[in-house]
Amino acid sequence: MGAAAPRRLAVNLSRGQLAHPGFVATVREILAANDMMPAQLQLEVNESLAARDDAVQARLRALKDLGLTLALDNFGTGQSSLANLHRLPVDLVKIDRSIVGEAVAGAHTRVLIDATVRVAASLHMKTAAEGIETEAQLAVVRQLGCESGQGFFFSEAVSPANLAQWLTVEPLEAVATFD
């Protein structure tokens, strides 16, 4: 991979994958077959899947035990609840783009982001802002303590045709970690 290419691959999980009893073993085999360190893999799940049932919770804990990163995707939409975060074995809470998009104009939205960042931090989870499109949005989420962000402000989507170039020659930064 290119020197500036991402060091972590993020993959969204589906309901079917999490429901499959052999999924953890499959992930372990894929990591080994590709000589990939678990820390290089981030599996992303939405809260409704993560909180689904005890079997899914056990699978998520087993995945985390492999050493990979678990991310709670699109937080702040649907059934998301700050009160339930402590039940989820995740490392990263990704604040949904719909909330980030309103952060500049809406004081109540900034309070939601601040609360999410604080609760996540109290649970030793990191936070990321999704869908950052403007410098003003970036400034707000940074001020509120988000540790990283992603969105078109950093890079437009990379087409499959350009993916190989992105990984090997001239990588684009689609995710940023804030200092």
Q: How far apart are CA 168 and CA 161, in angstroms?
A: 13
Q: Return the bridge partners of 75, or none.
A: 95
pLDDT, tens digit, for every residue of 130-159? 999 999 999 999 999 999 999 999 888 778
Kindly report the average pLDDT of the chain as a whole number.
86
Instruction: Report whether pLDDT(119) > 80.
Output: yes
Taking alpha carbons only, the member of 118, 136, 135 closest to residue 127 is: 118
More confident residue, 57 or 144: 144
Whole-structure pTM value: 0.85
The predicted structure's pLDDT at residue 174: 54
Q: What percent of the chain has pLDDT over 70?
A: 85
What does the pLDDT read at residue 100? 96
Buried b (16+ CB within 10 A) or exposed e, 152-169: ebeeeeeeeeeeeebeee
For residue 10, the cross-strand partners are: 42
C-alpha to C-alpha distance for 2 and 118, rounded to whole angstroms: 35
More confident residue, 87 or 121: 121
Sign of the four-CA dihedral 37, 40, 44, 50: positive
Do 50 and 72 touch, CB atoms closer than 8 A?
A: yes
Question: How many C-beta atoms surround the C-beta of residue 105 within 10 A?
Answer: 10
Q: What stretches of 1-108 adopt beta strand conformation (E)?
A: 9-12, 41-46, 69-75, 92-95
pLDDT of residue 79: 65
Residue 147: which of 69, 80, 84, 86 has the closest Cα? 69
pLDDT tens figures, 88-104: 899 999 999 999 999 99
